[in-house]
Structure 1
Amino acid sequence: MPDDRADLHGEYKVVGGKLVIADLAVREGRLAQVRVSGDFFLEPDEALDDILAALEGLPADASVERLAAAIRAGLRPEAALVGFSPEAIAIAVRRALGAANTWRDHEWRIIEEIPVTPPVQMALDEVLAREVGAGRRPPTLRFWGWERPAIIIGNFQSLSNEVDLQEAERLGVEVVRRATGGGAMFVEPGTAITYSLYAPAALVADMSLADSYAFLDQWVLSALRELGIDAEYKPLNDIASSKGKIGGAAQKRFAGGTVLHHVTMAYDMDGEKMARVLRIGREKISDKGIVSAAKRVDPVRSQTGLPREEVIARLTASFVALHGGAPGEITPEEMAAAETLAGEKYARSTWLNRIP
């Protein structure tokens, strides 16, 4: 039976760029009646005809790479695309075909912070991500509650290279290893804002890993700007402002089809204690936002003047305004599974010391 469809519509907002819209039909399994529009800039005008001609008649199951390559090959040499790219057009086409979707295609749940131990925090990320992948939980935004001081090292970091274990033990700072890559974090209750997104892989379908970081951080950049912070994304995984680094993101793709994307931002950290428990080289001091080891690392508090709870409430409101969402909770079964996983994996020395 021929694959015939009509009135298909897809949109893609380029991170830091323009909106691209694709409207099209499918006739006998191929693209037809393709129209591309948006608030982008394109010179000369005739280059739009090149794009449409390149797409017309391509297989409806063509990948982003194939669609973008056809557009690029069909463009006249003098064509200038500003605020978008052939890949952005291809993603909009794929979204029109239903091969990728948007935030609003999902019914998000938002979980307020619950203080639990660091190993349970690590385990909750894995449990909730797998629950979303299995279809037992809708896509979720969860804010973390820190129950005690902790250092969280990245999945691939050397424990001895990153942490002064004797000093951490003396100061009562627990050390755990997370499932995602990236660098070490130091947190204490009330000093950081950490959240996780458990998103369907379809939300970032056809995006490169680098593009998916920027895409999934876009909402929080918008929220921080509303709070008066001139926040910006710095590849690959940093959130910063003109006054320095605010926080960093990390990500993991699960086989079940879930993307775990979590971010920690410094609200009001003890820079002197951070420098004592983390083995931070001189070249990384400025990257951690520490001008002097005696100073606090407080980009969110100092730039907003708001209590931490108010900042989280404003971030939540911004997410709901942009993408929708309703209050959610961790089920007793999920918490039990996380506690079990913490005992079997994240609290064990074999996991922590797997890269000594």
Structure 2
Amino acid sequence: MLRIVIDGPRDPFYNMAIDEAIMLSREKANYNTLRLYMWSPSGVSLGRSQNAKNSVYIEKIKELGFKLVRRPTGGGALLHPEDYEITYSVVLSLDNEIARMSVDESASEIAKGILYALQILGENVNIRGLGDKEKHNLCYLRSGSSDVVIAGRKISGSAQVRDDKALLQHGTLLLKFEPETWLKVIKAPGVTEDFLKDRIAGLFEFIDIGISDILEALVKGFTKALNEDRVFTSSLTSNEVQLANRLYREKYSSERWNLLGIQ
């Protein structure tokens, strides 16, 4: 059974707190969860093990009114632009068939939700590791099994984490890509705007469409990718809200976590 949570734009700290709260609550639920959300204000997220000072321009992020948050998952740094990205998180029980796959295999299977959604919208897309093996600070330049590629350029990537009860994967669907802003906040030595334009794309370059239509396609795409025949739409449970609020206060709004990765 799959629960769909269509969320609005939220504070970057709270977005990560909610994703982790859903994962930590999975053992007590009898359903998996797909959450679709956006960001307000814009966020810059770090991978779980990244060095903040070496990876992003901390003062510039503050100057622009963005928020820096460390994800519970791995990977590199990302800009989550307000109004111009839809993010998904998928939480699965480890009993799920996809969760029993390797990380690379499961990441690719889950990312088919983006693939199917874009196909529903009439776009020609595929999944392949597009980026480099080098561990770039900027996540979209890294190669991953779950890279979704449109016109030879990456439009979606993802990262995953597991504990002993559940799997959490969250990923992005870029709607508009502005490389100049990315390079203002993420350290990418030697990388130019033109280089990024050749490698990364936003959906609005290819189609004029509203957010509600994209969300509808994403729900259909992930329902197919996750092979779920029983689907319902709901909000977070009261326990998830309480846990998310605690994680927000004690972890994700803490510079100790966001800058140093220490809880």
TM-score interval, normalised by the smaller of the two chains: 0.7 to 0.9
Matching residue of 1:342: 248
Q: Per-residue displacement from partner, 1:62-83 (whole Å, max 9, x unpaired)? A: xxxxxxxxxxxxxxxxxxxxxx
Matching residue of 2:162: 253
CA distance in 2, matches of 1:342, 1:328: 21
Q: 1:141 to 1:265 in 2, by over 3 A?
A: same
Which structure 2 residue ranges, 5 or more long, are not aligned? 130-143
Contact 1:239 1:246 in 2 (8 A): yes
Contact 1:192 1:269 in 2 (8 A): no
State the SS of the aligned residue for 2:41.
coil
CA distance in 2, matches of 1:334, 1:270: 34
Q: 1:229 to 1:280 in 2, by over 3 A?
A: farther
Contact 2:179 2:193 in 1 (8 A): no
Q: Per-residue displacement from partner, 1:252-286 (whole Å, max 9, x unpaired)? A: 0122x211011112101432222111112335867
Matching residue of 1:318: 221
Matching residue of 1:332: 238
Q: 1:109 to 1:206 in 2, by over 3 A?
A: closer
Matching residue of 1:267: 175
Aligned residues: 243
Matching residue of 1:103: none
Aligned-residue sequence identity (percent) comes to: 25
Work out which of the residue numbers 161, 175, 188 in structure 1 matches 2:68. 175
Q: 1:285 to 1:153 in 2, by over 3 A?
A: farther
Work out which of the residue numbers 200, 213, 216 in structure 1 matches 2:110. 216
Q: What is the CA RMSD across the aligned residues, in angstroms?
A: 2.3
State the SS of the aligned residue for 2:173.
strand
Matching residue of 1:290: 197
Matching residue of 1:156: 49
After TM superposition, give the deviation of residue 139 of structure 1 in Å: 0.4
- In the alignment, residue 306 of structure 1 is paired with which amino acid? I
Matching residue of 1:9: none
CA distance in 2, matches of 1:355, 1:206: 28
CA distance in 1, matches of 2:194, 2:30: 40
After TM superposition, give the deviation of residue 230 of structure 1 in Å: 1.9
State the SS of the aligned residue for 1:290.
helix
CA distance in 2, matches of 1:279, 1:178: 18
Larger RCO, structure (CA 8 Å, separation 6 or more): 2
The answer to whether structure 1 residue 353 and structure 2 residue 259 are counterparts is: yes
- In the alignment, residue 120 of structure 2 is paired with which amino acid? E
Q: Per-residue displacement from partner, 1:8-67 (whole Å, max 9, x unpaired)? A: xxxxxxxxxxxxxxxxxxxxxxxxxxxxxxxxxxxxxxxxxxxxxxxxxxxxxxxxxxxx
Matching residue of 2:135: none
Contact 2:112 2:221 in 1 (8 A): no
CA distance in 2, matches of 1:284, 1:242: 20
Work out which of the residue numbers 165, 177, 188 in structure 1 matches 2:58. 165
Contact 1:223 1:314 in 2 (8 A): yes
Matching residue of 1:244: 153
Which structure 1 residue ranges, 5 or more long, are not aligned? 1-106
Matching residue of 1:68: none
Larger Rg belongs to:
1
Q: 1:282 to 1:125 in 2, by over 3 A?
A: same
Q: 1:145 to 1:332 in 2, by over 3 A?
A: farther
Matching residue of 1:199: 92
CA distance in 2, matches of 1:231, 1:290: 17
Contact 1:111 1:330 in 2 (8 A): yes
CA distance in 2, matches of 1:121, 1:277: 20
CA distance in 2, matches of 1:310, 1:148: 23
State the SS of the aligned residue for 1:282.
coil
CA distance in 1, matches of 2:82, 2:118: 21
The answer to whether structure 1 residue 307 and structure 2 residue 210 are counterparts is: yes
